[in-house]
């Protein structure tokens, strides 16, 4: 057999084997086998020296053609095998969308947080700022500056946890009033703020009392602020929170930091005012306290009561949530029982 014939046999054999390769690694072995330095093509080239001068270049050309035929075949097979490999991988990774999904439980904010934020939004909508005070407060801000001097009998209703004789857990959010008033620059406009936060009392916990609860303080001071502004503001708040049909009623009351002071009732949302169990057959439900800021309170914070007047109020956040959702035990808010909290998603 001539060397040319050998070359042809070699070519057909190589192409057959390349086509038969079932994976990329076998294909690579074939590349080394046929095109490598120790392969059959090198052997063929070694026989060149035995050929006539006329045949030598012919063999060179024939070898080149065979080489590129093998290279082309390898390249084509490689593309084919790679595509098959991707196809197999995709088929293996197919997701069965009919399988039942793992159920993810979704958290939500606590009902007290939701209630606080809802009230905040109502006041932000009326141009109020939201202020922060301190849960650990001085006797001065918590009591004195709120017109509750030492030994004032009204302090009895707000006993609390003392850290030192002058430092205590605040009993209400009212001290934030003093902290904001003393800093306020009236050349920049009226003072309109709310201050939400936790407060503390020495109380025995039961269905309606807790040693820790939440309040939202409100304060507006400007020239010419009147009781009607307080009433209009609270009316707006109550209608937003409890429905447009709700009415409010102001009753005279007493707080050392307001004069006059009022207790605010809303018409009963359960019976519409007819009288029922929820409103203890009065048609009204007590909801918050407020009044016109006492001139002494203004004065102590450096505001001239002859020029400026204002109103203030304090809302119990738990009380609002309890009324709205018919919650009958305040302790539910703090026990983190999911059977309670899950009802308010």
Residues that bind ligand DAH (CB under 6 A): 172, 174, 217, 255, 258, 289-291, 312-314
Cβ at position 207, least distance to ligand DAH in Å: 19
Read off φ and ψ for residue 58, nearest 5 degrees.
-60, -40
Shortest Å, Cβ 174 to ligand DAH: 4
Contacts of 214 (CB under 8 A, 6+ apart): 112, 116, 196, 197, 198, 199, 316, 317, 318
CB of 33 or CB of 229, closer to ligand DAH? 229
Contact of 151 with 256, CB cutoff 8 Å: no
Residue closer to ligand DAH (CB basis): 242 or 313: 313
Q: How far is the CB of 172 from ligand DAH (least distance, A)?
A: 3
Tokens representing 235 are: 């009316």
User: Closest approach of Cβ 242 to ligand DAH, in Å?
Assistant: 19
For 3, residues 6+ apart whose C-beta sits below 8 A from its C-beta are: 44, 47, 50, 51, 59
| Nearer to ligand DAH among residue 173 and residue 267 (C-beta) | 173
Minimum Å gap between C-beta 167 and ligand DAH is 19
CA distances from 56 to 11, 61, 268 (A): 19, 9, 114
Could you give the CA distance from residue 67 to residue 8 in angstroms, rounded to a whole number?
Answer: 11
Nearest to ligand DAH of 269, 313 (CB atom): 313
> Of the two residues 70 and 312, which places its CB atom closer to ligand DAH in the complex?
312
Report which secondary-structure segment, H or E, holds 20: helix 3-20
Token pair in block for residue 328? 């009958």
Query: Which residue has its beta carbon closest to ligand DAH?
Result: 314
Q: Residues with Cβ < 8 Å from 42, sequence gap 6 or more?
A: 36
Q: Taking the complex as a whole, how short is the minimal distance between the CB of residue 316 and ligand DAH, in angstroms?
A: 8
Q: Give 258 or 301: the residue with its C-beta nearer to ligand DAH.
A: 258
- Comparing CB distances to ligand DAH, the nearer of 7 and 139 is 139
* Residue 3 near residue 46 (C-beta atoms within 8 A): no
DSSP assignment of 44-76: HHHGGGGS-TTHHHHHHHHHHHHHHHHHHHHHH
Minimum distance between the CB of residue 164 and ligand DAH, rounded to whole angstroms?
22
Q: How far is the CB of 136 from ligand DAH (least distance, A)?
A: 17
d(CA 159, CA 100): 57
| Residue closer to ligand DAH, measured from CB, 66 or 312 | 312
Would you say 196 and 119 are in contact if contact means Cβ atoms under 8 Å apart? Answer: yes
């Amino acid at each position: 057999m001539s060397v040319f014939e050998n070359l042809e046999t070699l070519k057909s054999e190589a192409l057959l084997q390349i086509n038969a390769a079932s994976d990329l690694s076998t294909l690579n072995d074939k590349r080394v086998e046929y095109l490598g330095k120790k392969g059959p093509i090198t052997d063929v080239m070694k026989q060149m020296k035995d050929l006539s001068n006329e045949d030598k270049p012919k063999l060179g050309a024939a070898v080149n053609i065979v080489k590129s035929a093998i290279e082309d075949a390898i390249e084509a097979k490689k593309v084919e095998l790679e595509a098959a490999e991707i196809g197999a991988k995709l088929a293996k990774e197919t997701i069965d969308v009919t399988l039942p999904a793992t159920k993810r439980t979704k958290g939500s904010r606590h009902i007290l947080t939701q209630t606080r934020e809802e009230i905040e939004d109502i006041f932000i909508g009326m141009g109020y700022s939201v202020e922060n005070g301190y849960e650990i407060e001085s006797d001065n801000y918590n009591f004195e500056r709120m017109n509750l001097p030492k030994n004032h009998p009204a302090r009895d209703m707000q006993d609390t946890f003392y850290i030192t004789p002058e430092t205590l857990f605040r009993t209400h959010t009212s001290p934030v009033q003093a902290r904001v008033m003393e800093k306020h620059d009236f050349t920049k406009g009226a003072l309109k703020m709310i201050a939400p936060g936790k407060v503390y009392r020495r109380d025995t916990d039961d269905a309606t009392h807790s040693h820790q609860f939440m309040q939202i303080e409100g304060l507006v001071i400007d020239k010419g602020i009147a009781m009607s502004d307080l009433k209009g503001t609270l009316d707006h708040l109550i209608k937003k929170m409890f429905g447009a049909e709700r009415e409010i009623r102001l009753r005279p009351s007493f707080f050392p930091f307001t004069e006059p002071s009022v207790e605010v009732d809303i018409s009963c949302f359960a019976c519409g005012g007819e009288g029922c169990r929820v409103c203890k057959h009065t048609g009204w439900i007590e909801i918050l306290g407020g009044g016109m800021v006492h001139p002494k309170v203004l004065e102590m914070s450096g505001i001239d009561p002859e020029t400026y007047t204002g109103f203030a109020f304090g809302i119990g956040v738990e009380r609002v949530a309890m009324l709205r959702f018919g919650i009958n035990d305040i302790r539910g808010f703090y026990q983190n029982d999911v059977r309670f909290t899950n009802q308010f998603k």
